[in-house]
Amino acid sequence: MSDYRVDTKCVQAGYTPGNGEPRQIPIIQSTTFKYDTSADMGKLFDLEAEGYFYTRLQNPTNDMVAAKLAVLEGGSAAMLTSSGQAANFFALFNICEAGDHIVSSASIYGGTFNLIGVTMAKMGISATFVSPDCTPEELDAAFRDNTKAVFGETIANPALTVLDIEKFAKAAHDHGVPLIVDNTFPTPVNCRPIEWGADIVTHSTTKYMDGHGAAVGGAIIDSGKFDWMAHRDKFPGLTTPDDSYHGIIYAEKFGNEKAFITKCTSQLMRDFGCIQSPQNAFILNLGLESLHVRMPKHVENGQAVAEFLNEHPKVKKVSFPGLPGDPYYDIAQKYMPRGGCGVVSFELEDRKAAEDFMGRLKLAAIETHVADARTCCLNPATSTHRQMTDEQLLAAGIPAGLVRMSCGLEAREDLIEDLKQALD
Ligand SMILES: *Cc1c(COP(=O)(O)O)cnc(C)c1O
């Protein structure tokens, strides 16, 4: 499957039915799996044989969908998680423990910023946040002896900054640690971070991959390229015996291709249990089957909306990496020549102008969501960030009149007419 084009992979990767088997992936709605002998089951518990024993750790439906995602991103192994938050937490916690440190782009999803900056800090894992636009020297200076991972988002939600993946990968590799990239917004249809040097890719599959606002989910894809044994001292969890698994050394037993995901499944999924339900995995796969058809339309609508808003006298500023003149235009062209995604953010006069405008929209619904087939919008000042004063908002780089609009799959003429009547 890995030789096919991305469109074919979206439709067919991950599951090939045998003679007389279901054409669509089966939903294995079972918590547990039956074995003839205790010895058979023992082999699974010892990670001596591959198979399923309890859906909190692994489920066949999920694994078929994860296999598709591994092919799509060009990775060696993948797993699904219950949400994007769980995916990012697992990806980091799989290689960081108390006393360790993370270097992260400051321009990331608010939930992830909180996860790294507050919740993981309480677990004893510290972080240094850097601007995605920092110089290589500034990036280099953020590392410490105990740094174990670098994190960033290909296109950040909601700031729409674009990560220079090669710059971040080089810094990570110079310091002997992997780069983890959250690729939720462009999806592998528009960008494959592993091709640019990322070692691990994460997703909130809740967004474009599902694409219909139907199922919360996440995923982790490992490139299989990071050489854990070459940095043995930094990653004892992968390179020294796991006492909770009969002294298995993951990097030795499973190699660079499978070690990261096997450890993440057998330790973190076992202990935290953030599994995606097989029903949701099935829904996610339906979304993936049309991802390559939907993404160009999201991009096209985003581009048309951004160009319209850019010309409108009541709009103070538009951010969209596909807009010539956007500070991230050149870098977006490099990493995403087919476009990024359909999210546009723009600034109106003030909080009241944004509220009035959104109230008059007929097609775009007010929602805390993005990347849905239906266009939606949000004014952070009156929703996600409403505890903040206008001064605090400005300090955080979020003007009170900012609107984030996620362009769906409707006719672009209808979207623009709706925007026009609401602005005028
Ligand atoms: C939404 C989002 C998340 C969190 O995902 P959930 O599925 O809501 O847990 C993480 N990263 C990015 C870039 C997101 O947009």
Measured in Å, residue 206 CA sits from the centre of ligand 1 at 7
pLDDT bin (cut points 50, 70, 90) of residue 381 is: confident
Q: Is 378 helix (H, G, I), strand (E, B) or coil?
A: strand
pLDDT value at position 287?
98
Any atom of ligand 1 within 6 Å of the Cβ of 109? yes
Residue 85 CB contacts under 8 Å (≥ 6 apart), including other chains: 111, 112, 115, 204, 218
CATH superfamily of 291-423: Aspartate Aminotransferase, domain 1 (3.90.1150.10)
- More confidently predicted of 301 and 386: 301
Per the listing, tokens 């010309």 go with: 311
Nearest CA owner, ligand 1 atom 12: 109
Collapsing DSSP states into helix, strand and coil, what is residue 402?
strand
Q: How many A from CA of 400 to the centre of ligand 1? A: 23
CATH fold of 6-286: Aspartate Aminotransferase; domain 2 (3.40.640)
pLDDT at 46 over 90: no
Instruction: Place 380 in a pLDDT band, splitting at 50, 70 and 90.
Output: confident
Residue percentage of the chain with pLDDT more than 90? 88
CA dihedral defined by 47, 51, 55, 56, rounded to 10 degrees?
Answer: 10
Atom of ligand 1 nearest to the CA of 216: 7
Overall average pLDDT of the 48-55 stretch: 90
Q: For ligand 1, atom 1, name the residue with the nearest CA.
A: 204
- Cβ of 207 closer than 6 Å to ligand 1, yes or no, is yes
Q: Whose CA is nearest to atom 4 of ligand 1?
A: 84
Q: Report d(CA 237, CA 94) in Å as an integer.
A: 8
> pLDDT (tens digit, 9 = 90+) per residue, 170-189?
999 999 999 999 999 999 99
What pLDDT does residue 384 have? 78
CB-ligand 1 contact for 206 (6 Å cutoff): yes
- Domain positions in the chain are 6-286, 291-423
Q: Is the CB of 83 under 6 A from ligand 1?
A: yes
Cα–chain center distance at 163:
13
Counting from 1 in the atom list of ligand 1, the atom nearest the Cα of 156 is 13
C-beta of 216 in contact with ligand 1 (< 6 A): yes
Share of the chain above pLDDT 70, in %: 100
**The predicted structure's pLDDT at residue 131:** 94
Which atom of ligand 1 lies nearest, measured to the CA of 218?
7
Question: How many whole angstroms from 316 Cα to the centroid of ligand 1?
Answer: 28
Please give the pLDDT value at position 295. Answer: 98
Q: What is the pLDDT of residue 398?
A: 79
Q: What is the pLDDT of residues 99-142, one digit of tens each?
A: 999 999 999 998 999 999 999 999 999 999 999 999 999 999 99
| pLDDT (mean) for 265-282 | 97
Q: Is the CB of 255 under 6 A from ligand 1?
A: no
Q: For residue 390, what pLDDT is reported?
A: 80
Give the model's confidence band at 413: pLDDT under 50 very low, under 70 low, under 90 confident, else very high: very high
What is the phi-psi region of residue 99: left when phi exceeds 0, alpha when psi lies from -120 to 50, beta otherwise? left
Same fold, 6-286 and 291-423: no
Q: Is the CB of 151 under 6 A from ligand 1?
A: no
* Ligand 1 contacts CB of residue 161 (under 6 A): no
Q: Can you give the pLDDT at residue 5?
A: 96
pLDDT at residue 335, as a whole number = 98
Q: How confident is the model at residue 325 (pLDDT cuts 50, 70, 90)?
A: very high
Q: 0.95 exceeded by the pTM?
A: yes
For the chain, give the mean pLDDT.
Answer: 95
Burial classification of residue 300, based on how many CB atoms lie within 10 Å of its CB (0-12 exposed, 13-18 middle, 19 or more buried): middle
Candidates 22, 7, 75, 48; CA nearest to 288 is 7
Reported as type and span, the H/E element at residue 304 is helix 291-311
Sign of CA dihedral 322, 326, 330, 335: negative
Res. 196: pLDDT tops 80 = yes
* Residues near 159 by beta carbon (within 8 Å), at least 6 away in sequence: 107, 319, 345, 397
Residue 291: pLDDT over 90 = yes
pLDDT band (50, 70, 90) for residue 44: confident
Cα 88 to ligand 1 centroid, rounded to whole Å = 9
Binned at pLDDT 50, 70 and 90, residue 311 comes out as very high
Pocket lining: 183 vs ligand 1, CB cutoff 6 Å: no
- CA–CA distance, 146 with 96 (Å, rounded to integer): 9
- pLDDT band at 48; cut points 50, 70, 90: confident
User: CA angle, corner 245, sides to 244 and 248, nearest 5?
Assistant: 125
Sequence-separated (6 or more) residues with CB below 8 Å from residue 90: 81, 220, 264, 268, 269, 272, 274
When mean pLDDT is compared across 109-113, 114-118, 201-205, 380-384, the lowest value belongs to 380-384
Cα 356 to ligand 1 centre (Å): 28
Note the pLDDT of residue 188.
98
Out of 82, 109, 200, mutate this one to test ligand 1's pocket (max ligand atoms within 8 Å of CB): namely 109
